Amino acid sequence: MVTLQTTQLRTGGLPVKEKRSAKQRAGTLGLILPGSIGLFVGFVLPLIVMIRMSFNQHGTGGQLVETLTFENYGRALSDPFYWQVIGNTLWLGLLCGGLAVILAYPIALFLTRTTSKWKGVLIALAIAPLLTSAVARTYGWIAILGDQGIINGFLMDTGLLSGPIRLNNDMPGVIIALVEILMPYAILAMISGFGRLNNSLEEAAGTLGASRFKVFMRVTLPLTLPGVFTGFLLVFVLSISSFVTPRLMGGGRVFILATEVYNEATQTLNWPLASALSVILLILFGLLVAGYQQLTKRFED
């Protein structure tokens, strides 16, 4: 069944045997070309340049030495600090993905099920935060979580605390802000991934004797799991590549790959090392997406 789907996908739904005319093929090519050129110039070429850069050497005087060495990878992978950074990055991604999915799941389920005439408006509201820049929203969180922020201010005014607790300028603040900023993506991904769910399936389970809890465990959850995976993957990828929020909210205490790449590229000016770290980040992405595809494939079978 899966093979059938992929064949259909590849041929755009046309029967495999049907030959398409040269004109049709030229038309298809014409439509694909602009985007492909854009992707090649904007993504593939810079990627090649970056990978090449990661094998160069950072000279003692700070100059760039054209060579072919694994030194940067060696340095990144032998230094416990970078392992810590990779670990932090993965941890941040897992935690943000998990929390965003848990918080977004009931919202997405509600938005999928509701028959309200305001459904469209509600969905728009749920994803409206995306219309504000992440920078603005991060500063919003600083105002809330900072030492003089709303939460600490309240706790100190009421005398519950004598001094501020550190919510900002560390991992918890980054996670709180990232989860909130990325949740709309999780909601969107889940809504589009809940397509197999429909009311009569849950009703049928009910008539067959399943309590509400069992209906959820045996029908609702299994049918929404593909959407959950997609939502998780999206938030995971966006949080391990996020830069603005960890940078602004981390207060220099949060070290993840994206901020390290930035530091190496702009402060130490060590472009080869920055490139090598970027490639490592890319490989992390690749592994994860491959794992995700295996998971969904197994699910469809």
Partner 1 sequence: MTSTAEQMHLSVQNLNKTYPRTEVPAVSDINLDVQQGDLVALLGPSGCGKTTTLRMIAGLLEPSAGSIRVKGKEVTSTPVHKRGMGMVFQSYALFPHMSVLDNVSFGLEMRGGGRRGNRKAAKAALDMVQLGHLAERRPAALSGGQQQRIALARALAIEPTLLLLDEPLSNLDAKLREAMRHEIRSIQQRSGTTTLLVTHDQDEALDMADKIAIMENGIIQQYDAPQEIYEHPTNKFVANFVGKANFIPSTSVRQVGEGRYSIEAGAFGDLTVPGVVGIKGDRAELVLRPHRVRLMADGEVAADRPRARGQIIASSYTGNVVSYEMQSSDNDRVIRIDQLSHPADRLPVGAEITVSFDPEDAYLVAEG
Using CA atoms, how far apart are residues 234 and 179, in angstroms rounded to an integer? 12
Is 133 an interacting residue with respect to partner 1 (CB under 8 A)?
no
Smallest CA-to-CA distance from 232 within 108, 93, 131 is with 93
Least CB distance to partner 1 at residue 210 (A): 5
Is 200 an interacting residue with respect to partner 1 (CB under 8 A)?
yes
Instruction: Tell me the window of 69-77, 107-115, 210-218, 275-283 that interacts with partner 1 (CB under 8 A).
Output: 210-218
Query: Which listed residue (162, 209, 267, 298) binds partner 1 by CB under 8 A?
Result: 209
Query: Which listed residue (20, 52, 196, 297) binds partner 1 by CB under 8 A?
Result: 196
Token pair listed for 216: 């959820």
For partner 1 (CB under 8 A), the number of binding residues is 20
Is 203 an interacting residue with respect to partner 1 (CB under 8 A)?
yes
Using CA atoms, how far apart are residues 156 and 149, in angstroms rounded to an integer? 10
- Return the residues of window 223-252 that contact partner 1 according to CB under 8 A: 223
Instruction: Tell me the window of 38-46, 180-188, 192-200, 275-283 that interacts with partner 1 (CB under 8 A).
Output: 192-200
Q: Beta strand 64-65 with 57-58: parallel, antiparallel or unpaired?
A: antiparallel
Least CB distance to partner 1 at residue 126 (A): 24
Burial of residue 277 (CB within 10 Å: 0-12, 13-18, 19+) is buried
Is 183 an interacting residue with respect to partner 1 (CB under 8 A)?
no
Query: Which listed residue (39, 41, 49, 204) binds partner 1 by CB under 8 A?
Result: 204
Query: Which listed residue (210, 244, 288, 295) binds partner 1 by CB under 8 A?
Result: 210
Q: How far is CA 7 from CA 11, 17, 19, 187, 283, in A?
A: 6, 11, 15, 30, 28
Burial of residue 216 (CB within 10 Å: 0-12, 13-18, 19+) is middle
For partner 1, the closer CB: 4 or 22: 4
Sign of CA dihedral 165, 170, 172, 176: positive
Least CB distance to partner 1 at residue 34 (A): 37
Binding site for partner 1 (CB under 8 A): 1, 196, 198, 200-201, 203-212, 214, 218-219, 222-223
